[in-house]
Amino acid sequence: MGARHAVCCSSGTAALHLAALALELGPDDHCVVPTLTFLATANAARYVGAEVAFADVDADTGLAGVAQFEAALDRCADRNVKAIFPVHLNGQCADPAALAELAAARGLRVVEDACHALGTTWRTASGDDVPVGSCRYSDMAVFSFHPVKAIAMGEGGMITTNDARLDHRLRRLRSHGMTRDPDSFQQHDLAFAADGTPNPWYYEMPEVGFNYRANDIQCALGLSQLGKLDRFVARRRALAARYDELLAPLVRPVTRVPDCRPAWHIYVVAIDYAGAGVARGDVMRRLRDAGIGTQVHYLPVHLQPYYRGRYGDQALDGAGRYYARALTLPLHAGMDDSDVDRVVDALRAALRRHADSGAGDRVETA
Ligand SMILES: *Cc1c(COP(=O)(O)O)cnc(C)c1O
């Protein structure tokens, strides 16, 4: 990705937790997290006792950009906000330079949840393609190598950063909070022999940490997969382009972000189910009957019982509108073109069958 440091760990969730720990977020702090994300982004703040302030998202892209983060920050102006966690939903990102500017103006740290965006690049005004994970615009970026992600380690994660101190802390926290670095030993009487040489058995734990290491077997798989990343990303892009073309008369895909070249993690379409006269659950069941698995990414996290109980009901309308229309179609580097054709045919049938039955007569196309 072009970052100076990369710290491997046991999952994307562990990576988010480590990032929150490395920033020393704690019970008096708030983090702004987009509500349209996987649970783990928000949970990372809770692991360290910090509170979550949910940002709304753009109804068409599902992304929280400057406008949404700014609105969320204004809503919690009386609280101690320390960090924002932009989420690169579906593989797209909101303008990272603008978010960095906002964060700098407000004195906030930036942790990118890039679990969807391994291989995504952002084109700058001067025409450079900056990889997500280079951390040019953030303190840290977090990736996942769960089997559903771009590359797999069984389970696995990574944090990238350009900050040597964060790198050092992440490595220590990953392994029980312990260090074997003589330069950082605090208890010289225990650490060193009379002649000043470090005792060979000695290690020190200046703070409590975890066992968030990835194991050798996971890493062997990850290294092998890493070599295939470019091919996987290219294949996902080609499959997404084929979906775009074939679906054009039927449904629209998630709105594209200018200047972002996404490595699509998932392929999401926006369907006006009410307009089509068909329930989303029925469309999904019909597709499943045709052997095609679909999903909805995501129920906005602020609607989860835990967060509702903690923060009460919140009106985040952009997320509500995005969620109401979203449907994730199959996308995997192992698919071939005919798989896409089959999915599109099945989706057409799932939407049309209902219309043919007379209960609805229109499929929303715009
Ligand atoms: C997958 C994912 C995570 C968590 O990663 P794990 O490796 O499954 O722990 C976090 N955030 C997002 C957006 C994800 O998609």
Whether the CB of 152 sits within 6 Å of ligand 1: no
Whether the CB of 115 sits within 6 Å of ligand 1: yes
CB 88 within 8 A of CB 44: no
pLDDT of residue 181: 94
- Of 262, 339, 232, the C-alpha closest to 89 is 262
- Of 270, 265, 335, the C-alpha closest to 120 is 265
Which of 9, 10, 11, 13 has the most ligand 1 atoms within 8 A of CB, as the residue to mutate?
13
Query: Which one from 149, 169, 242, 261 is the annotated catalytic residue?
Result: 149
pLDDT of residue 363: 46
Q: Residue-wise pLDDT tens for the chain (366 aa)?
A: 999 999 999 999 999 999 999 999 999 999 999 999 999 999 999 999 999 999 999 999 999 999 999 999 999 999 999 999 999 999 999 999 999 999 999 999 999 999 999 999 999 999 999 999 999 999 999 999 999 999 999 999 999 999 999 999 999 999 999 999 999 999 999 999 999 999 999 999 999 999 999 999 999 999 999 999 999 999 999 999 999 999 999 999 999 999 999 999 999 999 999 989 999 999 999 999 999 999 999 999 999 999 999 999 999 999 999 999 999 999 999 999 999 999 999 999 999 855 455 444 444 444
Whether the CB of 12 sits within 6 Å of ligand 1: yes
Helix (H, G, I), strand (E, B) or coil at 67: helix
Helix (H, G, I), strand (E, B) or coil at 286: helix
Residue 165 exposed, middle or buried by CB count within 10 Å (0-12, 13-18, 19+): exposed
For the entire predicted model, the pTM comes to: 0.95
pLDDT of residue 353: 52
Query: Would residue 149 show up in a list of annotated catalytic residues for this protein?
Result: yes
pLDDT of residue 361: 45
pLDDT of residue 352: 81
CATH class of 229-352: alpha beta
pLDDT of residue 252: 95
- Of 128, 126, 131, 84, the C-alpha closest to 105 is 84
Whether the CB of 100 sits within 6 Å of ligand 1: no
**How many Å apart are CA 139 and CA 82, to the nearest integer?**
12
Distance 356 CA to ligand 1 centre (A): 40
Q: Where along the chain do its domains lie?
A: 5-176+210-225, 229-352
pLDDT of residue 23: 98
Residue 34 exposed, middle or buried by CB count within 10 Å (0-12, 13-18, 19+): buried
Which stretch of DSSP H or E encloses residue 225? helix 216-226
The CATH architecture that domain 5-176+210-225 belongs to is 3-Layer(aba) Sandwich (3.40)
Atom 2 of ligand 1, nearest CA residue: 115
Which residue, chain included where needed, has tokens 């740290």?
A: 109
pLDDT of residue 261: 97
Counting Cα atoms < 13 Å in the Cβ hemisphere of 103 gives: 22
Atom number in ligand 1 closest to CA 11: 7
Which of 90, 115, 295 has the most ligand 1 atoms within 8 A of CB, as the residue to mutate?
115
Whether the CB of 328 sits within 6 Å of ligand 1: no
Whether the CB of 85 sits within 6 Å of ligand 1: no
